[in-house]
């Protein structure tokens, strides 16, 4: 699986928090002790909190070693593993060059490290299943008028799709409300729908349709993605206009697991979904 700096930061923060908790130390006590040991470094309780909340993008190796000293981590191999994890957490991915159109890239970063993606969409086709034409239409519909920016958004979206082609590609299980299909511009609908059918043939991709005939359903409050990882806790992603929201608390995850179970139960089977999509294109 591709190394995700965001996942590494989450893991490092989680492990450092556990080390502090196991020692029974407050962030204030750790900040004061770190300052005593490294008076030239800007240590404080707030800094320890930022590290544990993943608000510090790059954790210096000297600062990490100071924390490990305070927490009593003396084994050379264990300390080396922490240093390696911190270095991986400080790396950047291809999306950094597209920050003008993708923002921080946190979601893309997590996507590259996921083992499973379960996406429910109510008005859009999921990003990993979009054609270039549809992706451009979505960008234009959001108010983007610059052709250059639209092109960059489409280019970034198409690069994202490569995650499904990597040797250890995640599984993508998508449930799409029928409403999203009818919002595809008519002149590109056949191409986009056919692409969904083609993607369905991949062993790691499932596309299922939630038809209008279902009526009211559990997912009507909005789209979401449940992201699972090989060695890290899951995350729920909620896309918003300005910035996405990531949910990690147990009760939040449980809620969206229940919603996912309901929309899956309401959706057509994979085979019936293909038949439904073919009906939209007039193909057999």
User: DSSP states of 144-209 as a string?
Assistant: ---HHHHHHHHHHHHHHGGGGGSTTPPEEEEEEEHHHHHTS-HHHHHHHHHHHHHHHTSTTEEEEE
Residue entry with tokens 């995350």: 235
| Residue 3 pLDDT level (bands cut at 50, 70, 90) | low
More confident residue, 144 or 133: 133
Is the same domain home to 60 and 194? no
Q: What is the mean pLDDT of residues 121-144?
A: 95
Query: What pLDDT, on a 0 to 100 scale, did the predictor assign at position 275?
Result: 96
Q: Which two tokens stand for residue 107?
A: 């979601």
Confidence check: pLDDT of 1 > 50: no
Q: How many domains does the chain have?
A: 2
93-127 per-residue burial string, b: 16 or more CB within 10 A, e: under 16: bebeebeebbeebbbbbbbbbbbebbbbbbebbbb
Calpha distance 284→268 (Å, rounded): 18
Is the same domain home to 124 and 242? yes
Confidence check: pLDDT of 284 > 60: no
Asked which of 89, 117, 133 is the last residue of a domain, the reply is 89
Element (H, E) at 246: strand 245-247
How many CB atoms within 10 Å of residue 197? 17
| Residue 206 pLDDT level (bands cut at 50, 70, 90) | very high
Q: What is the mean pLDDT of residues 211-233?
A: 93
Confidence check: pLDDT of 10 > 70: yes
Confidence check: pLDDT of 190 > 90: yes
Asked which of 89, 111, 140 is the last residue of a domain, the reply is 89
Residue 153 contacts residue 261 (beta carbons within 8 Å): no
Q: What is the mean pLDDT of residues 18-33?
A: 96
Query: What pLDDT, on a 0 to 100 scale, did the predictor assign at position 105?
Result: 83
φ, ψ of residue 9 to 5 degrees: the values are -65, -40
Q: Is 207 left (phi over 0), alpha (psi -120 to 50) or beta?
A: beta
Full domain range(s) for residue 121: 98-281
Is the same domain home to 70 and 106? no
pTM: 0.83
pLDDT one-digit tens code per residue, 56-112:
878 999 999 999 999 999 999 999 999 999 988 888 777 888 888 888 788 998 998
CATH value at residue 184:
3.30.870
pLDDT one-digit tens code per residue, 29-56:
999 999 999 999 999 999 999 999 988 8
Confidence check: pLDDT of 2 > 70: no
Asked which of 38, 69, 89 is the last residue of a domain, the reply is 89
Is the same domain home to 13 and 139? no
Is the same domain home to 52 and 176? no
Element (H, E) at 84: helix 76-89
More confident residue, 185 or 58: 185
Burial of 211 (0-12, 13-18, 19+ CB in 10 A): middle
For residue 4, the SS3 value is coil
Calpha distance 247→257 (Å, rounded): 12
| Residue 281 pLDDT level (bands cut at 50, 70, 90) | confident
CATH value at residue 11:
1.10.260
pLDDT one-digit tens code per residue, 134-173:
999 999 999 988 999 999 999 999 999 999 998 889 999 9
Confidence check: pLDDT of 276 > 90: yes
Residues 6+ apart with CB under 8 A from 265: none
Is the same domain home to 68 and 159? no
């Amino acid at each position: 699986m591709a190394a995700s700096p965001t996942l590494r930061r989450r893991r490092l923060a989680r492990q450092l928090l556990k080390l502090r908790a196991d020692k029974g130390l407050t962030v204030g006590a750790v900040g004061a002790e770190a300052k005593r040991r490294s008076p030239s470094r800007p240590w404080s309780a707030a800094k320890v909190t930022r590290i544990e909340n993943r608000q510090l993008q790059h954790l210096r190796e000297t600062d990490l070693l100071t924390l490990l000293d305070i927490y009593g981590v003396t084994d050379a191999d264990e300390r080396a593993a922490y240093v390696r994890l911190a270095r991986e957490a400080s790396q950047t991915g291809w999306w950094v060059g597209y920050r003008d159109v993708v923002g921080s890239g946190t979601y893309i970063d997590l996507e590259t490290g996921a083992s499973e993606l379960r996406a429910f969409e109510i008005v859009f086709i999921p990003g990993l299943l979009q054609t270039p034409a549809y992706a451009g239409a979505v960008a234009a519909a959001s108010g983007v008028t610059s052709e250059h920016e639209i092109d960059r958004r489409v280019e970034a979206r198409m690069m994202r799709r490569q995650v499904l082609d990597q040797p250890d590609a995640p599984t993508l299980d998508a449930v799409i409300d029928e409403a999203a299909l009818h919002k595809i511009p008519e002149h590109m609908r056949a191409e986009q729908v056919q692409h969904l059918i083609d993607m369905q043939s991949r062993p790691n991709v499932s596309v299922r349709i939630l038809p209008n005939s279902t009526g009211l359903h559990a997912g009507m409050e909005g789209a979401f993605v449940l992201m699972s990882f090989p060695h890290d806790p899951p995350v729920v992603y909620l896309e918003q206009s300005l910035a996405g929201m990531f949910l990690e608390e147990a009760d939040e995850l449980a809620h969206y697991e229940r919603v996912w179970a309901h929309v899956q139960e309401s959706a057509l089977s994979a085979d019936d979904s293909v038949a439904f999509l073919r009906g939209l294109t007039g193909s057999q």
